Every structure is written in structure tokens, then in C-alpha cells.
Amino acid sequence: MAGVKPVAFAWTRGQVLAVCVGLAYLAWSLAGMDVSAERLATGWEQGARFLGRLFPPELGKMDELWQGIQETLQIAVLATAAGLVLSLPIGLMAAANLSPMPLHVAGRALIAACRALHPVISAILFVKAVGFGPLAGILALVVATVGFVGKLFADAIEEISPKPIEAMRATGASFAGVVLFGVLPQVMPRFVGFATYQLDSNLRNSTMVGIVGAGGIGGALFAAFLRYEYGFVATILATVIAIIVLGELVVNGLRKVLDV
Amino acid sequence: MHANATAGTLRIEQLVKEYRPGQPVLKGIDLAVSGTGLTSIIGPSGTGKSTLIRCINRLVDPTAGRILLELQGQRVDMAQLRGSALRAARRHIGMVFQEYNLVERLTVLENLLTGRLGYLSAWRAWRRRFEAEDVAYALELLQTVGLADFATRRVDALSGGQRQRVGIARALMQRPAVLLADEPTSSLDPKTSVEIMEMLREQGRARGIPVLVNIHDVELARRYSDRIVGMTGGRIVYDGPPPGLQDAHLRQIYGGEAWLA
């Protein structure tokens, strides 16, 4: 025992090993990706030329722009609404403290499946399934919404205080009564928080599903790239940025009004 | 006005509860309670007081035994009920909890109305449609428990004593045939504890129903009970009026002596 000095906050051998492995992987990846000083220099040059061609922004195609933007907003709002409506029952179903075992596992599996695919990948799948256009985009973002809000909602339900639930069961309340008056009041503020976050997220995602043909401004953006209309690209990008910033302001305002 | 004489009459026979097979917490409890009066159950922590009281409204499922309760002229065995029959029986059993068990984000009035959830169809619950009569009764009860001005306050803005009054009022909303209270004063200061015990006794008397209270504080139990039940090791070792409870009994119930001095 003597001679062993107690050390506070010491690194364990495992931690040192983990950091070394991490650093080694980074170095190996960098070597394999052909990222050299030379490559950075040519990339820089090309980037500067591209940036130059974005200006001046093309302002003559407002109709096409407006149509795309409108579709994007509609996709975002519709997908958020439909996704939230689905997330409520699926989240309830997936919560281990309310659902019987098989239902809870099925709910969790459904949510995991929705989360597994990036919106772009599910958008490609839906384009193949239901054809080009905004319907595919809406479906893709509904899936994303269920994956995100459903999971967080289920987690929130699992963290509620069981005490009021017990009291309501003791009054002879039905399951519906317990959920409506014991569970929902405890999780509703958080659900509204998830919902506004997802609206924000869907606004961004809906500008992108168009790239794979699922409707919205993304389609126009991609077409402009292909036609080397960099001026129009600049206009679209500026508009998208403006909308996202505006959307965030609206969502923040919404949160204040709803007091969450 | 009063419930009929037999309503709320409770007879527990050979009640056994094992959370783990072979390790009974309750080892064959026999207990009969009838008429008006406050019965206190005292005993050390972990002796099954809470389990006993929760078996009555089946928040805990008993392993064996009968829990016979007179409700609306019918005798039911709570131990055998399940599903909607169990929910229907629970509507007549009020319960007050140590930590109040209120919904923090709802108002006082809304918390009271949850006492009527057993009578609300899912459709009406969804639309939050409570009977006007229930709302009127809730306001009346708030007057009774001294919280008339608090109807629209959110519960998370209330003190412990106020919350427990809301808890009592919620139980009374059920127009219960029997009132259970699980350590109703353990989270409260001495002065508030006295007020809560007084309220439980008075409300039980006013409604002509039996009140069953788990309590740690022996002095408080002596002061407010018509009858004291002492439990230790999952068995009843004293059952009688407060004056009959001697130091010898307390030694048997709690063990040791230093605390008696």
C-alpha cells in the first residue's frame, strides 16, 4: 500500500488509448482524402471564381422564384402539421410507462425506422413511390417529423412524475382520462417546444427535397446550377437564407406567445 | 344527506402481500372499519402500512385475502375486481397522498375536477366538459378547505399545506364512501400537520364516512384518532382507542426505548 500516491482527475489507461485511437483515425482519414496544401490552393482559386460568377444576382425570374418558395413553405407547414398529429399517438404508444410491452416495442421500432433515413433519402424513395412533386416531399418530411418529435415526445412521457397518474387511477379514471389530465399537462409544454423546433427544421429541409424532385425551391436551385445560371442561384440562396431567418423569428415569437 | 349507515364499511380478511415470492410484507391482516371515525395506522417504516392502504383501492394488488367493502348497498371484494368494475369501485374511495400527487401545471379548480374523472366519458374528457354541478361542488369544497380565492391559481404556486388541502378537496370531490390518507402530514410542518389532521377528522365526521390514515407521528395520531392500529413486521399488534396505547405497545411496535423518553 505504501508508495501508492492517490491522484485526482487522473487519466485512465483506457481514456489515453481512446484519445490516441481517435487522433490516429483523423490522421489516416486526412491522408486518404487527398487533402494537401496544393489541393487547398486550387480549390481556393476555383471557389473565388465561382463566388465572382454569383454576382450580380439575377432578378428577372421572380415568378419562378415565388412559385418555388410558396411550394417550399406549403410543404414545410403541411408536413409539420401532419407529422405532429401522427407523433402524438405514436409517442404515447412508444412510452414504456404507459404502453404494454409489445405496443411499446412496436412504437419504438417505428420511430427508429423513421429516424434511420435522412430526409433526402426518404424523399428519393417517395419520388420513386408516388412520383415527382410536392407530395413526395411532404411524405418525406412527415417521416422525419415522426422520427424526431415522436422520439422526444416518448422520452418526455417516460420522464413524467408518476404521482399524479397514481392519484388519478385511484379516483377510478379511465386510461383516456389519465392520459388527458395526468400525462398531457405534464408534457404539453415540451411537445410545443419540439413542434416549433421541427417546424424550423422542416423549413430548411423543404428547401432541399426539391433537389431530388420532391417539390419546392430546391428543384429550381438545382436546375439553375445545371444551366450555369449562377446569378439566379445567388437570388435563390439569398431568398432561402432570408426565409430561414424570418422563420426562426416567427418560431421564436410563437414560443413566447405559447410560453414555452 | 349522510350516506347510509353501512356505506364505506370495510372488512379486510387474511390479507397477504408479497412483492417477492416467499417474503410477505403483510402477513395476514384482519381489520374491520365501520361507521364514522378516524383510524390511524402507526408503525415503523417498511412495515407495510402503505402497502395495506394501497391494497384497499388496489394501487397495489394483494397476493391473498379479501377486502370487503360496502358500496351503494352492495358488498364488493376489492381484491377480486378488475377492469371497469375496479374503476367503478375506485370512484367511491378517496385517497390523500404524502406528496399531494397533484398535476402541477393545472389550476386548483382543474385538479379538483380530476376527482370526477371516473364519471367522465372519454369523449367528454377529450373536450374537458365537466358537469356544471361538479364545478359548483368544487368551488364549494374550496370554500370548505379555505382556498376559495385560489381556484384559478396554478398548483405549482402553492405551499405544501395548501397543496394538501387541494389533495383533500380532490378526494372529497369523489363523494367517497371511505377516505384513505397515506402519510398525509409527513411532508408538512407541525402546525400545518395539525390543521390537516383536523380537516381529515372533521370532513370524515361531516360526511359520516370512515377515514383511514397512515401516520408516523404517534402524538398526532393519539390526538386526532378515534382508534389506533399499531403494525409491526407485517402484523397488527395493537388495535384500540388512543388512551389504551401504552409505552409497552410502542416498544413492541417500534422497538428500542431511547425515543420514548
pLDDT in tens, B65-105: 999 999 888 899 999 999 999 999 999 999 999 999 999 99
Q: A169 contacts in B (CB within 8 Å)?
A: 59, 90
Contact A177 B122 (CB under 8 A): yes
**Coil, strand or helix at A185:** helix
User: Which residue ranges of chain B lie beneath pLDDT 70?
Assistant: 1-7, 261
pLDDT of residue A122: 92
Contacts with B12 (C-beta within 8 Å, 6 or more apart), sequence order = B29, B30, B31, B32, B52, B55, B56, B65, B66, B67, B68
CB B200 within 8 A of CB B38: yes
Which of B110, B114, B125 comes nearest A171 by C-beta? Answer: B114
CB-closest option in B103, B118, B125 to A172? B118
Please report the pLDDT score of residue B261 as a whole number.
63
Mutant choice from A88, A168, A171 vs B, greatest count of B C-beta within 10 A: A171
Q: Would the CB atoms of A173 and B114 count as touching at under 8 Å?
A: yes
Q: Is A112's pLDDT higher than 50?
A: yes
- Note whether B184 contacts A: Cβ–Cβ < 8 A: no
pLDDT confidence of residue B51: 95
Residue A260 pLDDT grade (very low, low, confident, very high; cuts 50, 70, 90) = low
- Structure confidence at residue B220 (pLDDT): 94
Chain A environment of B89 (Cβ under 8 Å): 172
Question: Three cell numbers at B103?
Answer: 398535476
Measured CA to CA, the distance from residue B116 to residue B119 in angstroms comes to 6
pLDDT for the residue B3: 43
Q: Which of B87, B100, B114 is the closest to A181 by Cβ?
A: B114
- What is the Cα–Cα distance from B235 to B55, expressed in whole angstroms? 15
Contact B103 A182 (CB under 8 A): yes
What homologous superfamily is domain A62-258 in, according to CATH? MetI-like (1.10.3720.10)
pLDDT digits (tens, 9 = 90+) for A44-73: 888 888 888 888 887 878 888 888 889 999
What CA–CA distance (Å, rounded) separates B119 from A32? 70
Q: Tens digit of pLDDT for each residue in A173-213? A: 999 999 999 999 999 989 988 998 898 899 889 988 888 88
| Mean per-residue pLDDT, A102-109 | 95
A173 to B95: CB separation less than 8 angstroms, yes or no:
no
Classify domain B1-92+224-261 at the CATH topology level.
Rossmann fold (3.40.50)
For residue B1, the model assigns a pLDDT of: 37
> Which amino acid, residue B210?
P
Alpha helices per DSSP H over B57-121 = 83-90, 108-113
CA geometry: angle A161, A167, A172, nearest 5 deg = 135
Mean of per-residue pLDDT scores for chain A? 89
| Residue from B91, B103, B164 whose CB has the most chain A CBs within 10 Å, to mutate | B103
What are the domain boundaries of chain B? 1-92+224-261
Q: What are A118-155's pLDDT values in tens digits?
A: 899 999 999 999 989 889 999 999 999 999 999 999 99
For residues A93-120, average pLDDT: 93
Distance, in Å, from the CA atom of B261 to the CA atom of A76, rounded to the nearest integer, reads 73
Q: Give the per-residue pLDDT at A42.
A: 86
Check residue B142 and give its pLDDT.
Answer: 96
| Contact in structure between B226 and B34 (CB atoms under 8 Å) | no
